[in-house]
């Protein structure tokens, strides 16, 4: 059964068509400030807390689910925040179509779908190709944050990051069980209440890396488009 698509008329929502028509992301924010991206905002619990903590940063929260975007916009309005905007769009598509080099001060990915079955693990968002793509769009010194409650996913990302040239670990170890001041989302609280520990990975783009040293990532048609095509071949 197909879910009804909720029309989102919030002033905090950016329709993808606006960017495809040539609008720039910075036009949608009231202040000219560094921009950070949350990939997979859910219902907005994390981004609301983060935006309140950092009013000096503009945040773009994205999700592929219509209902989550709708609820996130409602929570932004209730909180009275002006430094958050929301899009319903896929991360790879957004980055490769609408971002330029050194655009992002930070990227946050919290508890993404772990795709627990071995045959589906290639569908995981955070892999070598993706973090190399992010490297192009992060500012020198820009932050990459990743969290998950899934042991295999947390350990694999912690092991991956030191092998990707251009990233520097911001932690003393490969991963942490908590980050001081880092907002805990609704889903994280749920996992913690069940006794499931959270893996946190925090890396930074090396300051000496310049965009001319990196190859611009190829235009990406979108993750779900790619794997659905592969399964139908």
Q: Is the dihedral of CA 182, 73, 83, 206 positive or negative?
A: positive
- Please list, residue by residue across 203-227, b when 16 or more beta carbons sit within 10 angstroms of its beta carbon and e when fewer do: bbbeeebebeebeebeebebbeeee
Query: Given 26, 113, 129, 151, which residue is catalytic?
Result: 113
Distance separating alpha carbons of residues 154 and 127, to the nearest angstrom: 11
**Both structure tokens of 66:** 């219509």
Cβ atoms of 136 and 101 within 8 Å: the answer is: yes
CA count, 13 A, side-chain hemisphere, 9? 1
- C-alpha to C-alpha distances, 23 to 15, 107, 138, nearest whole angstrom: 11, 22, 21
The question of whether 113 is a catalytic residue gets the answer yes
Catalytic residues: 113
């Amino acid at each position: 059964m197909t879910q009804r698509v909720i029309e989102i008329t919030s002033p905090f929502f950016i329709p993808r068509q606006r960017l495809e028509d040539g609008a720039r992301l910075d036009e949608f924010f009231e202040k000219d400030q560094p921009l950070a991206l949350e990939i997979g905002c859910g219902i907005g619990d994390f981004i609301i807390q983060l935006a309140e903590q950092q009013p000096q940063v503009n945040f773009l929260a994205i999700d592929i689910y219509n209902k989550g975007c709708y609820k996130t916009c409602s929570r932004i309005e209730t909180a009275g925040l002006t430094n958050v905007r929301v899009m319903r769009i896929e991360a790879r598509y957004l980055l490769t179509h609408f971002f330029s080099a050194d655009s992002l001060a930070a990227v946050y990915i919290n508890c993404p779908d772990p795709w627990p079955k071995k045959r589906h693990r290639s569908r995981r968002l955070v892999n070598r190709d993706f973090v190399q793509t992010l490297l192009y769009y992060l500012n020198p010194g820009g932050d990459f944050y990743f969290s998950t409650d899934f042991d295999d996913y947390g350990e694999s990302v912690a092991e991956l990051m030191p092998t990707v040239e251009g990233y520097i670990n911001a932690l003393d170890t490969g991963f942490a069980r908590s980050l001081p001041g880092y907002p805990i989302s609704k889903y994280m609280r749920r996992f913690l209440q069940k006794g499931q520990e959270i893996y946190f990975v925090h890396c930074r783009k090396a300051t000496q890396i310049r965009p001319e040293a990196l190859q611009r990532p190829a235009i990406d048609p979108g993750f779900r488009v790619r794997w659905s095509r592969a399964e139908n071949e």
